[in-house]
Chain A
Amino acid sequence: MTDKFEPLIIGFTCNWCSYRAADLAGTSRVKYPPNVRLMRLMCSGRMDPTFVLKALGGGADGVLITGCHPGECHYLEQNIKLLRRYKLLQRMLIQFGIEPQRVKLVWASAAEGVHLAREFTKMVEEVRALGPLNWNVPPESGRIEEGIKEGTYEQS
């Protein structure tokens, strides 16, 4: 591959804040890299750590979790519960040998489209610097062929 490495980042967004912030970024024509692919959950509290691991295992190079600012959760305090899980997950990632920077938590309110777009861009650059993950890729994923082709799969 002659051009630079394009990481794939999965973003889990909260229906009430960051999903709308991303929407706002879109409607106000704020650009962010296409590497981030978003998924909507009703609340960041729905975030099961399994989803993060499945995403990383399925070929994602990074995962971005976004939720409402502490104290502004639509469901009172569920983002705080996510925060607890996130902290534990970070520890677990280290044990798995994955750079904890690959999973990031960002607070963004529905009005912070620009802020969120900036965070997306930052995250993409950070993961790009870390390089591809290619972690535990199951054979049916498309990423594996690409990995072998580029010779990166064997290294990791």
Chain B
Amino acid sequence: MEIANSGFPVYLVEREPSIGGHMAKFDKTFPTLDCAACILTPKMVSVGIHPKITMLTCSEVEQVEGYVGNFTVTIRKKARYVKEDVCTGCGICEEKCPISVVDDVFDVGLGYRKAIYRPFAQAVPKYPVLDKENCTYFKQGKCKACQIFCPTSPNAIDFEQQDEIFQIEVGNIILATGYDLFDARRISQYGYGRLANVFTSLEFERLCNASGPTDGEIVLRDGVTEPKSVGIIHCVGSRDRHYNNYCSVICCMQSLKFAHLVKERIGAEVYNFYIDMRTAFKEYDEFYQRVLEEGVHFVRGRVAEVTDAAQQVGEEDKLIIQVEDTLMGGKQRRIPVDMVILATGLEPRHDSKEVANKFGISCSFNGWLTEKHPKLDPVATMTEGIFIAGCAQGPKDIPSSVSQGAAAAARVIGRIYQKELALEPIRAHVIEERCSGCRICNNVCPFNAIIFHENRLVTEINPALCQGCGTCVATCPSEAITGTQFNNQQVLAQLEGLLIVV
């Protein structure tokens, strides 16, 4: 938006059928309890109708070539089986489709959708997408209900549509690929997937969302019973050396928000099990104080187990949370509750390593994309012209993601306005007369800066792509590559200096 508003064309490539990301699934946002859809959907629409933004949904980047100012990006736009230029988004096809399937993407397995569907009512773009795997026509060769009932002329449903592959030319790229949720099944002692009334944080978000599968009713898995007590377990999959060492940043506040929503909507008893309360940032701690005053119970200690095996009176048909209360001198407590919410941590996208590879940037051991400098340059990457924003770089909340997105946009706009590019002075270059064309150096460069000229049988280094690591200089067997500031002579002279006996 920022870039497009400055008058530069933007291509928005989205893997899912609609933009919006995880935020579109949420009910309220902490700490102000704004409705997520109320603040997000108008923005989505603005993006959708912006004349400078070309939105490519159901699309993925296949290949990236070139360098800053001259990227050629190959995009695969997956077949939607709906003609975007004809469809009006009326939704009749969705109504008429006879197939209902569990929506495990948007409603995280709690609700249903049709085989032709829009992920949610305010989806942008408004066109539905046909799910080939579940469609009767694709499975059995007949049905076509959506096509028969489609009121537009010409008909918007196109069963023959194929994936489109095309290339776009761009100068800068911003990666904002977001996060995946930690799979709570990995911690088997918390019983997710085994005990029905253990929910993940995203499931609970959908439960309390007014447009969610239960119309905002907070109920147990049976769909009718309101829980009388709820336990919220913090740091599930975060701050745990068995899973992820890092803090997922948002879960403390998210859990507080859940606690508040449960209190407000159904007045159940709420127990929070935490290691530390991390409520940094503006108005976050005030929200914590508010939830404390609302009478939510806080137990400091890591939960050992969630079980349905009752041992004492009052534990029948409940989920029992076994915890060591570290503020009561390490006393073992068993707290029976009706519902357990796991504040599942954030993880890098499962394919973040491939994405990093594709764009020629690096990612940390965990899989978060690496910024150029952790403090002074958190939006740029080591590859010129590629920027990162949001949770792709590391766990963060909505305000930080928005700020980082705007920062990345500002950097891109600055780049475009500069017209010229200032580069670090440390670069390698090939002395052509010495190059034997052996091509040993060709494979060592991770930035694809080394080009081999077949006609002259010599290698050349593209100074715009070279980052100056010097690996090729060290690799070259004929000393044909030399690096500014770190050439062999300079290094050896330094070495000589170091070897002087004092």
> Within 8 Å of chain B (Cβ to Cβ): is A54?
yes
Inter-chain contacts of B421 with A (CB < 8 A): none
Q: Are A78 and B469 in contact (CB under 8 A)?
A: yes
- Of the candidates B426, B488, B494, B499, the one whose C-beta lies within 8 Å of that of A48 is B488
> Within 8 Å of chain B (Cβ to Cβ): is A43?
yes
Inter-chain contacts of A69 with B (CB < 8 A): 365
- Of the candidates A58, A81, A143, A146, the one whose C-beta lies within 8 Å of that of B495 is A58
Q: Are B382 and A41 in contact (CB under 8 A)?
A: no
Q: When A46-B471, A74-B382 are in contact, do A58 and B446 touch as well, CB less than 8 Å? A: no
Inter-chain contacts of B360 with A (CB < 8 A): 76
Inter-chain contacts of B501 with A (CB < 8 A): 8, 59, 142-143, 146
* Nearest-Cβ distance from residue A145 to partner chain B, whole angstroms: 9
Q: How far is the CA of A95 from the CA of B495 in the complex (A)?
A: 24
Inter-chain contacts of A48 with B (CB < 8 A): 473-474, 488, 491
Residue tally, chain A, CB below 8 Å to B: 34
> Within 8 Å of chain A (Cβ to Cβ): is B362?
yes
> Within 8 Å of chain A (Cβ to Cβ): is B470?
yes
- Of the candidates B362, B426, B488, B495, the one whose C-beta lies within 8 Å of that of A39 is B495
Q: Are B499 and A51 in contact (CB under 8 A)?
A: no
Inter-chain contacts of B494 with A (CB < 8 A): 39
Interface size class of B (residues with CB under 8 A): 20 to 34
Q: Are B495 and A46 in contact (CB under 8 A)?
A: no
- Give the A-B pair count, Cβ closer than 8 A: 97
> Within 8 Å of chain A (Cβ to Cβ): is B404?
no
Interface residues of B in 10-67 (CB under 8 A from A): none
Q: How far is the CA of A59 from the CA of B499 in the complex (A)?
A: 6
Q: Are A55 and B468 in contact (CB under 8 A)?
A: no
Q: How far is the CA of A82 from the CA of B447 in the complex (A)?
A: 17
Q: Are A71 and B499 in contact (CB under 8 A)?
A: no
Nearest opposing residue in chain A for B362, CB measure: A76
> Within 8 Å of chain A (Cβ to Cβ): is B486?
yes
Nearest opposing residue in chain A for B488, CB measure: A48
> Within 8 Å of chain A (Cβ to Cβ): is B172?
no
Q: Are B446 and A39 in contact (CB under 8 A)?
A: no
Q: Are B495 and A10 in contact (CB under 8 A)?
A: yes
Q: Are B446 and A78 in contact (CB under 8 A)?
A: yes
- Residue-wise, chain B 481-499 has the 8 Å CB interface mask toward A (1 for contact) of 0010010100110111011
Q: When A10-B498, A42-B486 are in contact, do A71 and B468 touch as well, CB less than 8 Å? A: no
Q: Are A74 and B362 in contact (CB under 8 A)?
A: yes
- Of the candidates A10, A72, A73, the one whose C-beta lies within 8 Å of that of B499 is A10
Nearest opposing residue in chain A for B383, CB measure: A76
Inter-chain contacts of A42 with B (CB < 8 A): 426, 468-470, 483, 486
Other than the given A41-B491, A55-B498, 9 more pairs (CB < 8 A) read: A8-B499, A39-B491, A50-B488, A55-B499, A58-B495, A60-B499, A71-B365, A75-B447, A76-B362
Could you pull out 12 A-B pairs where Cβ atoms are within 8 angstroms? Answer: A10-B495, A10-B499, A42-B483, A43-B471, A46-B471, A46-B491, A58-B496, A59-B499, A72-B362, A81-B444, A85-B474, A146-B501
